[in-house]
Amino acid sequence: MDLSVRDEFQGGSVIAVHTQENTNGVAGVVLTFSMEDRYNVWLVDQQGVVVDSDQYGDCPAALFRYAERVTDQIYRYHNRTAPGLSFEVKNNG
């Protein structure tokens, strides 16, 4: 699987992609956006064939699911804790 941000995948534009080697056939997680389907999180095999997918109407839920999928892959296939995600939030106070 060779995808990059802004590539087209399953009718949407790729926002984020995580690829993993040595995963018993599961190669990556892809987050896409399209006006019709909104946000989709795809679990794909090494040939880019969709294994599973989840659809979301808003970005925060899709980003959370994407992070869950990536964390699961890192932990499952490399038997170590995945790095945590952090977000910068502007303090208006």
Burial 44-60 (b: 16+ CB within 10 A, else e): beeeeeeeeeeebeeee
Give me the CATH number covering residue 42: 3.30.505
Domain presence at residue 58: yes
What integer pLDDT is reported at residue 88 of this predicted model? 53
Is 60 within a domain? yes
Structural domain of residue 53, as residue ranges?
8-78
Q: Which two tokens stand for residue 35?
A: 């006006």
Q: Is the pLDDT of residue 90 over 90?
A: no
Whether 88 maps to a domain, the answer reads: no
Q: Each residue of 29-60: pLDDT tens digit? A: 999 999 998 999 999 887 778 999 999 999 89
Number of domains in the chain: 1
pTM for the model stands at 0.76
Dump pLDDT digits (tens) for 70-89.
Answer: 888 777 766 655 555 555 55
